[in-house]
C-alpha cells in the first residue's frame, strides 16, 4: 500500500467508481450476487445437475465485480460451464435466462438497500471535497443502473455534477468494463483528457479499463484483499482506503 498525492500541475480531473469506492455497497452487491447464484446453483444440483459448489468472494472479484449486471451473470455462468439464453431485459426475475437472473439479483440488491440503507466512506467524501477545493474536476462512472438511487440513499446526491452510470451507458450504447468507454465518456463530459485524469477503482475490471484508456494514473482501492490482482491488471498504485490519498496544498 502506498500514499497517493494528487497535484494540480499534473491532473485536471479525478474520476471515481461508486460501489466499494464512494459507498460501502460492494459488500451489498456481493451478498445479492451470492443469494442469486447460490440459490440457482442449488436448484440445478437438486434437479440432478452438477454438485453444488457455492459462489465465493473470489468468484465475485474475478467474474462479476465492476461489470454491467447481465455481463456479470454471463461471465460467472461461463466459469461454471453453464449456458443460458441471453433473454431480454424485460424478463421477469423468475425466468431462467441471463437477463432473468440479472433482474433477480437486482431485486435482492434493492431489497437490501431498502432494509439496511447505504453508508459512504467518509475518507472518500473528504478526498473529493479536497479535490474540489483545489479546483480539480471530478466525475462518477458506474456500471450500476442504481447509481443515482445509491447516491441519494447515502446522502450524496449532489456530490457529482457528471455521472455516467448503467442507465446512461445503455442509452449511449457504451461497452462495459474492462472496456474504457464509461471512463472516457465521464472524462469527456468534464472537459478533461485521459492523460491528465486519475481513475479510482476497486474492481479488477475497472483498473483494467483505466489501463486500456491510457489514463494518467490508476488508483486501485483494495477492499477484498486483492491488491496483487489490482496491480497486475492495471493499478499504478494500490491503497486500502482513500485516507491514504491527499491533494497537494489542501489541509497542509
Catalytic residues: 17, 19
DSSP summary character for residue 25: T
- Residue labelled with grid coordinates 451489498: 28
Closest CA to 196 of 69, 11, 66, 25: 11
Nearest-angstrom CA–CA distance, 238 and 235: 6
Helix (H, G, I), strand (E, B) or coil at 252: coil
Closest CA to 136 of 86, 187, 90: 187
Nearest-angstrom CA–CA distance, 190 and 4: 22
HEC assignment per residue over 68-123: CHHHHHHHHHHHCCCCCCCCCCCCCCCCCCHHHHHHHHHHHHHHHHHHHCCCECHH
Closest CA to 129 of 3, 6, 228: 6
**Which long-range CB contacts under 8 A does 40-44 form with residues at least 24 apart?**
40/101, 41/80, 44/82
Beta-sheet pairing, 245-247 with 4-6: parallel
Amino acid at each position: 500500500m502506498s500514499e497517493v498525492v494528487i497535484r494540480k500541475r499534473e491532473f485536471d480531473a479525478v474520476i471515481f467508481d461508486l460501489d466499494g469506492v464512494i459507498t460501502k455497497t460492494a459488500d451489498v452487491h456481493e451478498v445479492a450476487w451470492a443469494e442469486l447464484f447460490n440459490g440457482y446453483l442449488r436448484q440445478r444440483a437438486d434437479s440432478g445437475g452438477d454438485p453444488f459448489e457455492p459462489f465465493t468472494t473470489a468468484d465475485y472479484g474475478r467474474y462479476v465485480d465492476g461489470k454491467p449486471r447481465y455481463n456479470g451473470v454471463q461471465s460467472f455462468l461461463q466459469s461454471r460451464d453453464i449456458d443460458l439464453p441471453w433473454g431480454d431485459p424485460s424478463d421477469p426475475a423468475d425466468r431462467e435466462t441471463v437477463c432473468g437472473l440479472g433482474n433477480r439479483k437486482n431485486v435482492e440488491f434493492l431489497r437490501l438497500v431498502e432494509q439496511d440503507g447505504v453508508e459512504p466512506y467518509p475518507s472518500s467524501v473528504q478526498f473529493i471535497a479536497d479535490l474540489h477545493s483545489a479546483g480539480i474536476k471530478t466525475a462518477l462512472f458506474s456500471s450500476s443502473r442504481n447509481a443515482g438511487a445509491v447516491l441519494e440513499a447515502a446522502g450524496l446526491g449532489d456530490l457529482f455534477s457528471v455521472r455516467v452510470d448503467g442507465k446512461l451507458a445503455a442509452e449511449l450504447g457504451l461497452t462495459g468494463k474492462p472496456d474504457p468507454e464509461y471512463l472516457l465518456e465521464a472524462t469527456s463530459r468534464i472537459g478533461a483528457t485521459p492523460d491528465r485524469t486519475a481513475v479510482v477503482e476497486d474492481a479488477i475490471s475497472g483498473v483494467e479499463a483505466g489501463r486500456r484508456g491510457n489514463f494518467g494514473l490508476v488508483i486501485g482501492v483494495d477492499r477484498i484483499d486483492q491488491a496483487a490482482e489490482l496491480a497486475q491488471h492495471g493499478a499504478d498504485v494500490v491503497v486500502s482506503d482513500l485516507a491514504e490519498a491527499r491533494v497537494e496544498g489542501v489541509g497542509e
